[in-house]
Amino acid sequence: MAKLRVGVVFGGRSGEHEVSLASARSVMAALDREKYQVAPVGITREGRWLTAGDPMARLEAILAGQADPGPAGGALPPGRRALVPGIGPEGFPEVDIAFPLLHGPYGEDGTIQGLFEMAGLPYVGAGVLGSAVAMDKVTTKMLFQASGLPIAEFWVASRGQWQEEPDQVVAAVEEQFDYPCFVKPANLGSSVGVTKAHRREELQAGLALAAEYDRRLLVERAVDAREIEVSVLGNEEPLASIPGEILPSREFYDYAAKYLDNRSELLIPAPLPAELAGEIRDLAVRAYRVLDVAGMARADFLLDRQTMRPLVNELNTVPGFTSISMYPKLWEASGLPYPRLLDRLIELALQRFADRQRDRVTR
């Protein structure tokens, strides 16, 4: 049988560019070369698509401040199942499926998923709607709230409100929440732009920082909580892994604690009573369905230390994918090893694409 040609897409325009490269290195190393022909597709921070030469080496060189060592190239117009013709060392004319490993905006938010849909190209992970709503923390919380899922109390302001009436915004937050509280941009990942505010000055600085990243600013009540994560896998019948727990090296699980200081700990499985672990897994699947996610997502929870009540925090539809990332490690501990997990994600993408082909198209 001919090998399936997998276009692994990485880099991108978000602040999680380097994390994306790490995920892509791991996935490309683990894909079974007996089954797959791997075509790396890099995207620079400026949005230029690199398909010739060694896209990973080219992006690494650019990050190191060096000149791009590869030939000139750019985004190519999409065609049916041939989004980026001519990619890969063998020069094959098209890919069979895309595996996007773009974390954050312009990759996890429905934008590139829409491009793949227009190109008629199967792709791993959630669709346009699921990607977009899961990326937007405000919309996510509103949908969770409307569906009766337990969440932490939140409040929303616009960037315009903050810039025009900063005193009123601060007063409204202080009226609703005690300190500390969390301030976040609505659309971003890896805790970029997130502040834990312990007093008014930190709240003001946090709102200003969040406004640099998004037009909607989210403020959440801080909960004295344990951080629990569950990996979810599937389309119509999603399954949840065993829960894991994060012991952050800092006051909360910020970007430095996730990627820089190497001192945060992962407990797999999380030390939880069986009944509570089951409840959290059920909530993860419910949240996955509420947001219409497909393929995969990591569900993040806050477990209130006082009440032991789990609160759904968010879903990440393109979670970190290195061999030591929580998403694949939870599945490995649940009996699904990393290479087989990649196989299953590709299977699910092809199944979802086949199902979409059944849709009646108006002409």
Q: Residue 190 catalytic?
A: yes
Of 94, 241, 314, 338, which residue is the catalytic one? 314
Which of 5, 14, 15, 16 is an active site residue?
16
Catalytic residue, candidates 125, 241, 300, 327: 300
Is 178 assigned a catalytic role?
A: no
Catalytic annotation, pick one of 235, 259, 304, 340: 259
* Catalytic residue, candidates 14, 26, 187, 190: 190
Question: Hey, what are 325's tokens?
Answer: 């990332």
Catalytically annotated residue among 127, 131, 320, 327: 320
Single-letter amino acid code for the residue at 130: G
Q: What is the DSSP string of 263-315?
A: --EEESS----HHHHHHHHHHHHHHHHHTT--EEEEEEEEEETTT--EEEEEE
| 320 carries an active-site annotation | yes
- Residue 300 annotated among the catalytic residues of the structure: yes
- Catalytic member of 316, 325, 327, 352: 316
> In this structure, is the dihedral angle defined by the CA atoms of residues 59, 65, 71 and 73, taken in order, positive or negative?
positive
- Name the region of 262 (left: φ>0; alpha: ψ -120 to 50; beta: rest): left
Contact 230, 310 (CB under 8 A): no
DSSP state for residue 5 in the 8-state scheme: E
Distance CA 313, CA 152 (A): 7
Q: Alpha-carbon distance 76 to 179, whole Å? A: 50
By residue count, the chain amounts to 363
The tokens describing 30, both together, are 């683990």
- 16 a catalytic residue: yes
Q: Please, which residues bridge with residue 71 across strands?
A: none
Residues 6+ apart with CB under 8 A from 356: none
Query: Is 358 a known active-site residue?
Result: no
Active site residue 251: no
Q: Which of 107, 298, 313, 352 is catalytic?
A: 298
Please report the DSSP string for 171-233 in residue order: HHHHHH-PSSEEEEESB--TTTT-EEESSHHHHHHHHHHHHTT-SEEEEEE---EEEEEEEEE
CA 156 centroid distance within chain: 22
Q: What is the set of active-site residues?
A: 16, 190, 259, 298, 300, 314, 316, 320
